[in-house]
Amino acid sequence: MRSPEWTDKIPPVRLAGICYLIIVAGGLFSEIVVRGQLIVAGNATATAANIMEQESLYRAGIVASIVFLACNIPVIWVFYRVFRVFDESIANLMVLTFMTAIIVEVANLRSLLEPLSYLINAEGLVGLTESQRAALTYSAVQKFNAGFALSLAFFGAHCLILASLILRSKVIPRIIGAALVLAGIGYIANTFTIFAAPQLRGEYGVFLLLPALIAETSLALWLTFFGVNQARWNEAAMS
């Protein structure tokens, strides 16, 4: 039988749900509102000009990324607390893949800071032309995109493991677990498409990532408003 701390009360799953909603909203803001508006594919000059003209928006995207990445900490803590009572080994693997994805993404944020050094705080680059600074900026953006894609492969693995725990435990509706299976496959396929067949990414990228948006938003909303099946969790915690 597990120690009393596991059976006194269920973990604060609604906290995880709220944090997850912040993660989804922050990710959409950073990716669509900020980078989607400022970064012009294949045009370094226009990208650099957009960042310089809308510096506040660009910085807001970086801040939003820091905030939603920090929100991942309580989410994975709650997930571990919930699912370790069903299978501690798989729960540990879930945490490992999740943290690998987040560490890669946090380290990758440095690439978003580089354009500010090239364009805004460029005292040490006085010998470079505007086109050279723009090229460095666009290169940094591309480096961020590659690192972000790499992190999504590990996050896709996390989604598959989390899905297996949901399907097994039944503390969250199994349809959400099934949706997370599609999300995980989509994330992994998206990453390999970017690196192996980038020409296909432009055509099918939205179809690869749309299941993830639906699945993760559904999970976040369910946790926020309904939590988990406390009876099933208590039964597993006491066994």
Tens of pLDDT along the chain (239 residues)? 344 343 335 579 999 999 999 999 999 999 999 999 999 999 999 999 999 999 999 999 999 999 999 999 999 999 999 999 999 999 999 999 999 999 999 999 999 999 998 888 766 677 788 899 999 999 999 999 999 999 999 999 999 999 999 999 999 999 999 999 999 999 999 999 999 888 776 666 778 899 999 999 999 999 999 999 989 998 998 87
d(CA 39, CA 47): 5
Distance between first and last Cα of the chain: 5
d(CA 50, CA 54): 6
3-state secondary structure the chain: CCCHHHHCCCCCHHHHHHHHHHHHHHHHHHHHHHHHHHCCCCCHHHHHHHHHHCHHHHHHHHHHHHHHHHHHHHHHHHHHHHHCCCCHHHHHHHHHHHHHHHHHHHHHCHHHHHHHHHHCCCHHHCCCCHHHHHHHHHHHHHHHHHHHHHHHHHHHHHHHHHHHHHHHHCCCCHHHHHHHHHHHHHHHHHHHHHHHCHHHHHHHHHHHHHHHHHHHHHHHHHHHHCCCCHHHHHHHHHC
Contact 165, 76 (CB under 8 A): no
d(CA 132, CA 230): 59
